[in-house]
Structure 1
Amino acid sequence: MPMVITNPLLPDNPIVFVNRAFISLTGFERSEVIGRNCRFLQGPRTDKSQVARMREAITSRVPIELDLLNYRKNGTHFWNRLLVSPVFADDGNLLYYFASQFDVTLERERLAALQRDRDDLEAEVVRRTAELRAAEQRLQFALEAGRLGSWSINLGTQELTASDECKKICGRLPADSLTLEELRDSIHPDDRIVQIEAIEHAITNRSLLDVEYRIRTPKGEERWVQIRGQATYRADGAPLTILGTTQDVTNRREAEEHRTLLANELSHRVKNTLASLQAIVAQTMRRAPSVAAAGVTLEARIQAMAAANDLLISQKFEGATMRALLERTLSPFGVEDKDRFTLTGPDVKLPARLVVAFALAIHELATNATKYGALSNADGMIGLSWEVVHDPHPQSLQLHWVESGGPRVIPPSRTSFGTQLIQRMLPREIDGSVEVDYPAEGLVFKAIAPLIDTAENDNNTEFATNDKRI
């Protein structure tokens, strides 16, 4: 082991003894060492704070052990584990300092390498943690932007873990409980087996879970949800968990149902319109005195139907008000003339099935009035009034058409198609009743129709239209 002895009683505490091991370690000859302070072994990278510690210990005459970076004669450095101890005489006076050295370069390099590896590992952990945090933030943003709730089911314990958004979709607060049993209890009875079988199929077949079903929130609100997920498995193939997302698709399902309803409604109304048009054409051609006259009559009647349909389209096929229908249908007859027409009644919205039927009937009444009634002279007037009554049906519309000031009325000797349209076809179309009277002072028309638009009414209308066509 390299050793030196210094004499603190001499100036600058010089070295007075070195052994061969020291010479081998440092590369200096004995003559180059004796008489010099040990500081000649220090260099530019020697830690000054450690040198200060050693100097303080020597001044205080106490032992010290430290690792100091020293330099050989050839300029290479080595780590020197230095133990410096004072040597005292029997009377307590300081005689020498004894110092042993041990080359710990390999140990320090290994420690430095380990420290570098540790630093690199810590830096990698920090980088990976930042990437993971960023990925989690992106995932969280995607879930929030898509309004997706996340969940997992431990297939061993049947424990459900749900995110706050998942609970929100199920109508619960973040602090509320949501177990797997509670979730399944909230599923619509008709859909529970669908959810269970879908999950079992995804687990058994290692496939993607994708199913939609209805749930009922604690407040009783029904919602449609879509769940997607995939199972994880142990090394032996046993299913471990299933992870997934939940999305509220109520609006989409309602939109799909609404589109289906509109398509069915459109198909139904097209059938009815074509059947009505066929009947109108057939009756008009049979009773018209000539093809030219039939063409004029058909054009007017088809325009009345078109006006009614235009009104429906402007209202998105959700019906129209009675006043809007009358103003649109009677526009060619000068309805804006207050001396000729009076419109009196509440703001009543008609279901779509009544709009076209009443448009045709009103057009026939106005055409008849132009030819024979109140609109055939300069003094005649037509009064239209309507109200909502509750007899014979709840929420029924009662419409009156009363003519006055025209030529003296003579009841017709035979029924024209216009009269048949009003007296026979209209009651079936509106699922109500129609009365036409011919007092001398002017024609009176009265119709009562239920305002409730039901599937049963539409079906009856279709059957009645088919009967008329036959």
Structure 2
Amino acid sequence: MMSMIHEATTDEGVVRCRVLLLEDSPIDADLARAHLDHVDGFSFEIEHVVSRQSFLDALEQGGPFDLILSDFALPDFDGMQALDLVRERLPETPFIFVSGVLGEENAIEALKQGATDYVVKLRMQRLRLVVRRALIEARDRDRLRSAAQALQDSEAQLRYALQAGRLGAWELDLATGRMQVSDICAANFGLSDGRGLSSYETLKACILPDDLPGQQRAVQHAIDAHEDLDVEYRNVWPDGSVHWVQVRGRAVYDRNGTPTRMMGISLDVTERKQAEERQNLLLEELNHRVKNTLAIVQSIAAQTLRSAGSPAAFTEAFQARLRILSQAHDLLTREQWQGALLEEIVGLTLAPYQGAGRVRIGGPPVMLSTGVAVSLHLAFHELATNAAKYGALSVDGGRVEVTWSADGGEGDGEGRTLTLDWRESGGPPVVAPNRRGFGSRMIERALPYELDGDVVLAFAPEGLHCVLAIPLSPRVRLR
């Protein structure tokens, strides 16, 4: 309870202190005040009490006090009882006996019980020295205690920061190779506690062999160049899994410049590395998809140009096909480019013609990869456009049925075939064209090549019939 010694200071640098004086003699109390007025560097605010009750009231209501002075013998009280009360309530406050009856044995016993010092009234001039020394010692103890508490708080904050950031602490003795690591640091290497990393050799044994030379070069460079260590490498956990760890630190040197220790932190960065790998894969996939899309656009432009009779016809047909390509990309984007269901692709293509039972779609759930989904969407668009211009969808009574099934065994793996059947009926009599247009060429030539399948396109008089057989694979699979 010595905060006042630190904080209550006058402009002249004099420390103000509160004193509780237990003395039943007014003369002796005045004498004590007179001597306190001559203590160098301190000024005193004195509360004088004369009885047990007033002493208790002062301790409970008037504190805190920086110093307590007490007579040894009082009418209803004695100094040893007062000392017990102070040690119970204010254990850090200096307690000095000032008495005319204090013998050597009593003084020794008082010091054993926790008194700071004692002064015989016949030698009151000694009070100045005793008080000043007691206050300075109390102030120094309080400063040390505050510094220790600040250090403890700082260490607690550091531990919390390390735990919150999943940072492990480590220290390496460069002479012996011995290591001390925190439990979090050990956990970064898949170990239950720090005892598993007791030496630099055990650490190196955890590092993936391909990454060990780079780790050692980084450590040696940091030591030789007096620079910070910052290295990332893979380590193998006891269960065989591979994880990434980032290690930062710095060497400590003696007065001769010889490196003696290294210390720093470690952090498991496996999730970040995996995210970076996923991002790189996504960038590669995006690059691949952009190139594929540009190739499709280039092919559509070239084929449309050859089949168009005029610039206006080319513009109309080309823009329509680009819109279809955009629709497929919108659908795939909603599915985060993980593919699309065959039913969604067919439904998207034939949506403008739904109603009055003109379109029937049916088959088991089939998941298509992105490339297959785009190709089939373009093919169905060409079939639907042809049906709307010349076939079943060009008249009120025409119908289109699109069905699919999986044949050739059980399961959804290799050996089975997905058969798609596009069948038109109720439209005008079909006449086979003399020249194949873009749509026919894409369906008969491009689709089999891209999907590794077979296509049969039959211009039967009762209606166009297209059958597409595609082997089931990771690109085309039952869901």
How high is the TM-score relative to the length of structure 1?
0.71
Q: SS of 2:295's equivalent?
A: helix
User: Alpha carbons of 1:222 and 1:382: their partners in 2 closer, same or farther (altered >3 Å)?
Assistant: farther
Tell me how far apart the structure 2 counterparts of residues 42 and 153 of structure 1 sit (CA, whole Å): 65
1:366 aligns with 2:373: no
Q: SS of 2:325's equivalent?
A: helix
Match of 1:20 in 2: none
Return the letter of the residue paired with 2:120: L
Cα distance, 1:344 vs. partner? 1.9
Return the letter of the residue paired with 1:403: E
Which whole-Å deviations, capped at 9, do the CAs of 1:242-278 have from their partners, x for residues lacking one? 1121222222222222222222222222222122212
Which whole-Å deviations, capped at 9, do the CAs of 1:383-402 have from their partners, x for residues lacking one? 22334567994676543323
Match of 1:351 in 2: 369
> Contact 1:152–1:161 (CA<8 Å) still a contact in 2?
yes
Cα distance, 1:305 vs. partner? 0.2
Return the letter of the residue paired with 1:272: N
> Contact 2:393–2:427 (CA<8 Å) still a contact in 1?
yes
Match of 2:357 in 1: 339
Q: SS of 2:470's equivalent?
A: strand
Listed as ranges, the gaps of 5+ residues in structure 1 are 1-38, 58-65, 80-104, 455-470
Q: 1:448 pairs with 437, 457, 470, which one?
A: 470
Return the letter of the residue paired with 2:443: I
Cα distance, 1:322 vs. partner? 1.6
Match of 1:23 in 2: none
CA RMSD of aligned residues (A): 3.2
> Contact 2:454–2:469 (CA<8 Å) still a contact in 1?
yes
1:48 aligns with 2:67: no
Tell me how far apart the structure 2 counterparts of residues 317 and 164 of structure 1 sit (CA, whole Å): 42
**Greater gyration radius:** 1
User: Alpha carbons of 1:54 and 1:265: their partners in 2 closer, same or farther (altered >3 Å)?
Assistant: closer
1:433-444 alignment, distance < 5 Å: 433-442=454-463, 443-444=465-466
Aligned identity (percent) is: 37
> Contact 1:432–1:448 (CA<8 Å) still a contact in 2?
yes
How high is the TM-score relative to the length of structure 2?
0.69
Match of 1:386 in 2: 404
Which whole-Å deviations, capped at 9, do the CAs of 1:398-417 have from their partners, x for residues lacking one? 43323333334343332111
1:178-189 alignment, distance < 5 Å: 178-179=197-198, 180-189=200-209
Tell me how far apart the structure 2 counterparts of residues 351 and 324 of structure 1 sit (CA, whole Å): 13
Match of 1:93 in 2: none
Cα distance, 1:71 vs. partner? 5.4
Match of 1:70 in 2: 121
Cα distance, 1:453 vs. partner? 5.1
How many residues align structurally? 374
Tell me how far apart the structure 2 counterparts of residues 222 and 291 of structure 1 sit (CA, whole Å): 60
Match of 1:402 in 2: 423
Q: SS of 1:342's equivalent?
A: strand
The 10-residue stretch of structure 1 (303-312 or 401-410) with the greater mean CA deviation from structure 2:
401-410
User: Alpha carbons of 1:173 and 1:445: their partners in 2 closer, same or farther (altered >3 Å)?
Assistant: same
> Contact 1:209–1:230 (CA<8 Å) still a contact in 2?
yes
1:233 aligns with 2:266: no
> Contact 1:382–1:401 (CA<8 Å) still a contact in 2?
yes
> Contact 2:252–2:262 (CA<8 Å) still a contact in 1?
yes
Q: SS of 2:261's equivalent?
A: strand
Q: 1:160 pairs with 179, 185, 195, which one?
A: 179
Cα distance, 1:302 vs. partner? 0.8
1:120 aligns with 2:142: no
Match of 2:217 in 1: 197
Return the letter of the residue paired with 1:135: S
Return the letter of the residue paired with 1:160: M
Tell me how far apart the structure 2 counterparts of residues 198 and 309 of structure 1 sit (CA, whole Å): 47
Listed as ranges, the gaps of 5+ residues in structure 2 are 1-24, 33-69, 74-98, 107-116
1:51-130 alignment, distance < 5 Å: 51-54=100-103, 68-70=119-121, 77-79=124-126, 109=129, 115-130=134-149
Q: SS of 1:438's equivalent?
A: strand
Tell me how far apart the structure 1 counterparts of residues 147 and 155 of structure 2 sit (CA, whole Å): 12
Tell me how far apart the structure 2 counterparts of residues 366 and 223 of structure 1 sit (CA, whole Å): 53
